[in-house]
């Protein structure tokens, strides 16, 4: 990640993905290239002041985001946090807050409704709420006619079919997507391990799992070495050190033990067992999605999110091709990791940038025709 590239051509388009736990923002140039991407921890459930402080950090990083000619494209999932009385209230409050902070060139992604102003979100809130997966999938569909997008973030997994060059999801909202298997509430950082299994193997026996928030999936992937430390921005379950030693302590608590009760190799094997459980649950939901789209049984998997190493592993297990989202977004090698990690923010920036370019080209054609 870096500051504004000095030679990049403006005006810039900034893509914002406002989640309940993180704020992800990307910067695209006038030529449609991804110039920079950033992520900040933002515990929105604790209050809007966290969002406002994080927006200040975005402005400090990219002064051009304050410019009168900067364009801001927004998607969100943060409307679901328990700060708000309802999702409708969350969309309304977030839209108003962002409009106040980002200025007049703000457009909010609403799927089939297109782009809305903050005022229009009052009527179109259902299409705005948690539509970030649709933005990512829509960008993928501009490059691939057949694929399955698997975006594994810190908290959730999206499994989205792309068929015939269009997004072929069977449901549009979270409630429906939970039913179809297109939304799975398992992520690579924040998921409590007790959500993955009630019994696990340890020391040659099956043991019950403690239904306590003693450890999260971040502890698993610290021990497997697959979690990018820069994506590990949330506190650990016990607010202890986010180290391999700290993770062993927390994993041991899940089965009533201490880290000293077994070797480091034993705890690594234990972590791999949890990894297998998460991969298995993801595969089960992939099968649910495929059941409605038999033509996609051999389609490549497009991986996105900080946990896309699991999507890559799943593609390998199923003998499928694997494509990283960063490749489809045309990201440079320097930005590839963050482009895929923050895919929805990149998607809304590029979709908005392309629409703006199309409008400008049409206006230019109309002007030449009139002249």
pLDDT in tens, 285-316: 999 999 999 999 999 999 999 999 999 999 99
CA dihedral 68, 74, 80, 83 (to 10 degrees): -10
Domain end position, chosen among 279, 314, 343:
279
* CATH of residue 254: 3.30.420.190
Q: What is the CA radius of gyration of the chain?
A: 21
**Last residue of a domain, which of 239, 260, 279?**
279
Measured CA to CA in angstroms, residue 21 lies from 29, 39, 194, 368 at distances of: 27, 10, 20, 48
Q: In this structure, what token pair is assigned to residue 1?
A: 């990640």
**pLDDT tens track of the chain, all 371 residues?**
444 444 466 689 999 999 999 999 999 998 899 999 999 999 999 999 999 999 999 999 999 999 888 999 999 999 999 999 999 999 999 999 999 999 989 999 999 999 999 999 999 999 999 999 999 999 999 999 999 999 999 999 999 999 999 999 999 999 999 999 999 999 999 999 999 999 999 999 999 999 999 999 999 999 999 999 999 999 999 999 999 999 999 999 999 999 999 999 999 999 999 999 999 999 999 999 999 999 999 999 999 999 999 999 999 999 999 999 999 999 999 999 999 999 999 999 999 998 877 776 777 777 778 87
Domain boundary among 212, 247, 279: 279
The whole domain housing 55 covers 13-134+330-370
The answer to the question of residue 147 being in a domain is no
Residues 334 and 275 in one domain: no
pLDDT in tens, 44-80: 999 999 999 999 999 999 999 998 889 999 999 999 9
Question: Is the residue at 305 inside a domain?
Answer: no
Q: Is 234 within the bounds of a domain?
A: yes
Distances from the Cα of 252 to the Cαs of 237, 257, 260, 262, 264, in angstroms? 13, 5, 9, 9, 11
Residue 230 and residue 130 share a domain? no
Q: Encoding tokens for residue 180?
A: 């179809």
Residue 222 domain-assigned (yes or no): yes
Task: Quickly count: other Cβ atoms within 10 Å of residue 13's Cβ.
Answer: 28
Q: How many CB atoms lie within 10 A of CB 78?
A: 26
pLDDT in tens, 259-275: 999 999 999 999 999 99
Instruction: Assess if residue 355 is contained within a domain.
Output: yes
Is residue 180 assigned to a domain? no
Question: What are the start-end ranges of the E strands in 32-124?
Answer: 34-41, 71-76, 106-109, 115-116
Domain count, the chain: 2
Q: Are residues 275 and 338 in the same domain?
A: no
Q: Is 92 within the bounds of a domain? A: yes
Let me know if residue 74 belongs to a domain: yes
């Amino acid at each position: 990640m870096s500051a504004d590239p000095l030679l990049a051509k403006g005006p810039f388009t900034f893509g914002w993905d406002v989640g309940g736990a993180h704020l992800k923002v990307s910067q695209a140039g006038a030529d449609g290239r991804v110039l920079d991407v950033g992520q900040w921890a933002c515990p929105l459930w604790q209050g809007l002041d966290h969002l406002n402080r994080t927006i200040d950090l975005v402005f400090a990083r990219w002064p051009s985001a304050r410019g009168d000619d900067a364009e801001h494209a927004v998607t969100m999932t943060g409307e679901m946090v328990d700060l708000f009385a309802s999702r409708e209230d969350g969309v309304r409050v977030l839209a108003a807050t962002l409009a106040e902070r980002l200025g007049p060139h703000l457009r909010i992604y609403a799927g089939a409704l297109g782009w809305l102003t903050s005022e229009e979100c009052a009527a179109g809130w259902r299409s705005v709420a948690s539509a970030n997966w649709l933005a990512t999938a829509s960008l993928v569909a501009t490059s691939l006619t057949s694929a399955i997008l698997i975006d594994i973030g810190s908290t959730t997994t999206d499994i989205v079919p792309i068929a015939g060059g269009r997004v072929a999801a069977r449901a549009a909202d979270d409630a429906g997507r939970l039913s179809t298997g297109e939304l799975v509430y398992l992520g690579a950082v924040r998921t409590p391990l007790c959500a993955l299994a009630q019994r696990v193997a340890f020391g040659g026996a099956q043991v019950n799992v403690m239904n306590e928030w003693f450890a999260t999936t971040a502890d698993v992937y610290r021990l497997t070495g697959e979690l990018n430390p820069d994506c590990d921005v949330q506190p650990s379950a016990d607010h202890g050190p986010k180290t391999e030693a700290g993770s062993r302590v927390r994993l041991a608590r899940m089965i009533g033990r201490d880290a000293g009760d077994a070797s480091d190799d034993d705890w690594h094997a234990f972590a791999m067992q949890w990894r297998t459980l998460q991969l298995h649950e993801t595969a089960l939901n992939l099968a649910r999605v495929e059941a409605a789209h038999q033509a996609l049984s051999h389609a490549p998997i497009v991986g996105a999110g900080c946990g896309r190493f699991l999507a890559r592993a799943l593609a390998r297990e199923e003998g499928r091709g694997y494509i990283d989202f960063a490749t489809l977004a045309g990201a440079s090698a320097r930005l590839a990791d963050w482009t895929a990690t923050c895919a929805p923010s990149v998607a809304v920036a590029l979709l908005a940038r392309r629409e703006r370019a199309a409008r400008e080209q049409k206006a230019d054609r109309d002007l030449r025709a009139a002249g």
